Structure 1
Amino acid sequence: MQLLDTATVAPEHRVDAFRAAFDQASVPCRIEHLGPDARVYSRMHLWHFGQANLFTTDASGFRLVRTPRHVRMESPPVVALAVQTSGVGRFRQFGAEALVPPSRLMLSDLTAPYEFSWADSGGSRAFQIPYDRLALPRDAVRRAAPRLPASPLHDLVRDHLVRLAAGADGFSTDAGATALGTATTELVRALLVSAAGDERLAREVREETLLTRVLAWCRRHLTDPGLDPERIAAAHNVSLRQLYKVCADAGMSLEQWLIAERLERARTELLSPRRRNRTVAAVARDCGFSDPSHFTRRFRQAYGLTPREWRESSRRGR
């Protein structure tokens, strides 16, 4: 859902519109614009995924200041994990200050004072989770915050948030939106426990979030034709038996899930302008299918058309 696009707002009203949109999406804070009011611009979106939400901002330079007075105002206890998509952020909380370059994750505990800013222009994608849904002690969350880049889960969670934001319009209206929010929360939880270095919590969370981490990892490696259960189990330091058990407990077949995900990617890629000159066989290979005839057979079973028929029918419909 779009909260704000200052291109549709008169210049003299943009500062007020920015503040009103931010108040709607997040907790109370003070907003200072780093430049003339006439040059303020912003696009903000907010999508709900169950009790969590995704809040995106692309804007001219500004500073957010959440003071002790703001903290005392009534607002839900929330943690925000954000990925900086452009510009360089500057974040300060709990006496520590850090620069947040593009592609870096940043954790904000919104139950405490903090400051965040970027100069000139920037972009951020923030997943906001109620503390009770995160189900972690606050000291563990705060201990993890400055250590996120050191976690081996950093890039996995970052890529997931970027992909979530890119498809948020469709994801948020899908029947699985709440489940997707739960899965994203589990990934964030696993990242924080990993960064905090709490081995007791780590064991619990590794077991609870194994399937979520496996599926997110597999999506990143779908194009690899060598992706199979043995490799997946090895990448997550579990036995093949344990991997199959966690999938069976969730009522799913890992092999069939991999095929379905690859087919869906191929269906999208066949319509991409970037793939216009790629043959069907080449698109199949790009999506992890080593056998074009097997790909065509499975595609027709799934969608009722061959890949070529799907591409041609979509072109006729334009």
Structure 2
Amino acid sequence: MEKVYDSADFGARDALDAWAAITADAVMPTGFELIGTDTFDGCLKVASLGAVQISAMSYHSFRCLRTPKLIRKADPECFQVAFMRSGRHVLEQDRNQTALRSGEIAIFDSSRPFETWADGESLLIQFPHAVLPLPASRIRWMLARSFPGAKGIGGLLADFLTRMEEDGSDYTPQDSIRLATVSLDLVTTVIAHYLERDSDVPPDSRQRALYLRVTSYILRHLGDPALTVDAIAAAHHISVRSLHRLFQQHGTSVRVWIRAQRMEHCCRDLADPMKRHQPIAAIAARWGFPRPPDFTRAFRACYDITPSEYRDRACGHGTDSGPQHERPVLEARASRAPDRRG
């Protein structure tokens, strides 16, 4: 994400006006006034994914108003889905009002007047009305209502938005297209779930959302050595055959994907100087390798190097490597690892 606003860059008298001007361009025109304070603290980061935009906001005690006049002045004709990370938020639109707590999700519409009172942090995904394949009349029912975002299907969207904010990667145009598709699939699935209109979600979107649900589940249980194909399929109420087919559509298998993720997490910990004191066996067990000999064999098969040699090189203790030693490319060698564990 690119930081486009930081109140520390402005004087106390100018900070709120600058916020209004920048958010008008980055999100939509709205009016602001401070509540119980004379100074404004805030930060705004944005990631543009074509027609989709993701924003990370922090702000301090203000009232935000989008009036019919502002809508006539400029309307991106978008829905916004907000995930509340912390603080207090009250949202009012279309005769609905909700007091949002941390971990909750709400949807609102740029084409209809709304009012908010906000203090805290939120993640926002914004997308055009036209790209959502669900009845507009039903979506209006959801405006300014709260939905769970800390678990279940809402939690999957919240996790995706959080990762987007934390990820410092530079994305190519093709990456942005894929991420926009993923984000819209997630939003569509979440909204359809709460509308009880799952059958309205296009089959391709359902499959992509299911893949994200499954991979998110695997990452949450990555350290469990009992994580198996059967257990994953049962947790998602699908057959083992369907699970295999789902991963085949992404050019891999369930077991290979799990093994690659476990190895990647082990590599990160082994290369972390702050974890230098932790035994290699403890790191391996944390990520689903309870037997040290199995881990050593699997690691060598992936990297042509032992875990201890990798740690020494990554931390700058090898004879021919400095602190900036480049980590081996996991994807190029993961298929060589023995596939004995699900």
TM > 0.5 between the two?
yes
Asked which structure has the greater CA Rg, the reply is: 2
Change (3 A) 1:147 1:275: same
1:18 is aligned to: 19
Aligned partner letter, 1:195: Y
CA displacement at 1:296 relative to structure 2: 3.5
Structure 1 contact 49–172 (Cα < 8 Å) conserved = no
Q: CA contact under 8 A between 2:188 and 2:201: conserved in structure 1?
A: no
SS at match of 2:148: helix
How far the C-alpha of 1:302 sits from its partner, in A, is 4.3
Counterpart in the other structure of 2:189? 190
Deviation (angstroms), 1:8: 2.5
The offset of 1:273, in angstroms, is 5.9
Name the TM-score, length of structure 1 as normaliser. Answer: 0.87
- Distance of 2:270 and 2:221 partners within structure 1: 19
- Partner in structure 2 of residue 136 of structure 1: 134
Q: Which moved more, 1:209-218 or 1:237-246?
A: 209-218
Task: Assess, with a 3 A threshold, how the Cα gap between structure 1 residues 16 and 173 changes in structure 2: closer, same or farther.
Answer: farther
| C-alpha contact 1:134 1:189 (8 A) present in aligned 2 | yes
Describe the shift of the 1:285–1:130 C-alpha distance in structure 2 as closer, same or farther (beyond 3 A): farther
Residues 173-212 of structure 1 correspond to what in structure 2 (within 5 A)? 176-201=175-200, 204=203, 206-207=206-207, 209-212=209-212
Supply the distance in 2 between the matched residues of 1:304 and 1:18 (Cα, whole angstroms): 53
**1:159 aligned partner:** 159
Partner of 1:213: 213
Cα shift at 1:61: 1.3
Determine helix, strand or coil for the equivalent of 2:147: helix
> Alignment partner of 1:64: what SS?
strand
The one-letter code sitting in structure 2 at the alignment partner of 1:159 is: D
Amino acid at match of 1:130: P
Instruction: Tell me how far apart the structure 1 counterparts of residues 152 and 201 of structure 2 sit (CA, whole Å).
Output: 13
AA aligned to 1:162 is: T
Q: Which amino acid aligns with 1:126?
A: L
Q: SS in structure 2 opposite 1:277?
A: coil
Identity score, percent:
27
> Offset at 1:52?
1.6
Report deviation, 1:200.
Answer: 3.0
1:49 aligns with 2:44: no
Residue in 1 aligned with 2:248? Answer: 248
The reply to whether residue 126 of structure 1 matches residue 124 of structure 2 is: yes
Q: Please tell me whether the aligned partners of residues 156 and 217 of structure 1 are also in contact (alpha carbons under 8 angstroms).
A: no
Residue deviations 1:123-163 (CA, integer Å, cap 9, x gap): 11112223333332222333345363298412232233223
Aligned partner of 2:215: which letter? L
192-201 or 284-293, larger mean C-alpha shift = 284-293
Q: 2:173 and 2:302 mapped to 1: Cα distance? A: 19
In structure 1, how many angstroms separate the alpha carbons of the residues matched to 2:310 and 2:66?
52
Question: Against the structure 1 CA distance between its residues 23 and 216, is the aligned structure 2 distance closer, same or farther, given a 3 Å change threshold?
Answer: same
* Residue identity in the other structure for 2:138: A
Instruction: For residue 10 of structure 1, give the secondary structure of its aligned residue in structure 2.
Output: coil
In structure 2, relative to structure 1, the CA distance for the partners of 1:133 and 1:203 (3 Å cut) is closer
Paired letter, 2:32: I
Output one character per residue of 1:49-80: Cα deviation in whole Å (capped at 9) or x when no partner: 34322111112111221122222334332222
- Measure the CA separation in 2 of the matches of 1:289 and 1:258: 12
Which residue does 2:32 correspond to in 1? 31
Q: State how far apart, in whole Å, the 2-side matches of 1:81 and 1:303 are.
A: 42
Pick the structure with more helix per residue. 1
Distance 1:298 1:125 in 2: 39
TM-score w.r.t. the length of structure 2 is: 0.81
Alpha carbons 2:20, 2:30 under 8 Å: kept: no
Deviations 1:55-106 (A, max 9, x none): 1111211122112222233433222222211211111122111111112222
Q: Distance in 2 between matches of 1:199 and 1:174?
A: 30
Contact 1:34 1:61 in 2 (8 A): yes
Please give the root-mean-square deviation of Cα atoms over the aligned residues, in Å.
2.7
Higher relative contact order, structure no. (Cα contacts within 8 Å, ≥ 6 residues apart): 1
Query: Any gaps of 5 or more consecutive residues in structure 1?
Result: none
Which of 153-162 and 227-236 deviates more? 153-162
Provide the secondary structure at the position in 2 that maps to 1:41.
Answer: coil
When residues 30 and 285 of structure 1 are mapped into structure 2, their CA distance, relative to the original with a 3 A threshold, is same
Cα gap change, 1:256/1:29 in structure 2, threshold over 3 Å: closer, same or farther? same
Task: Give the Cα–Cα distance (whole angstroms) in 2 for the partners of residues 311 and 222 of structure 1.
Answer: 21
Conserved 8 A contact 1:50-1:179: no
Task: Confirm or deny: 8 A CA contact 1:148 1:191 kept in the other structure.
Answer: no
Q: Distance in 1 between matches of 2:305 and 2:113?
A: 56
Inter-partner Cα distance in structure 2 for 1:202 and 1:82: 21
Aligned equivalents of 1:51 and 1:132: distance in 2? Answer: 11
Deviates more, 1:223-232 or 1:141-150: 141-150
| 1:149 maps to 2:148 | yes
Quick check: 174-183 or 27-36, which moved more?
A: 174-183
1:270 paired residue number: 270
Q: Which residue of 2 aligns with 1:3?
A: 4
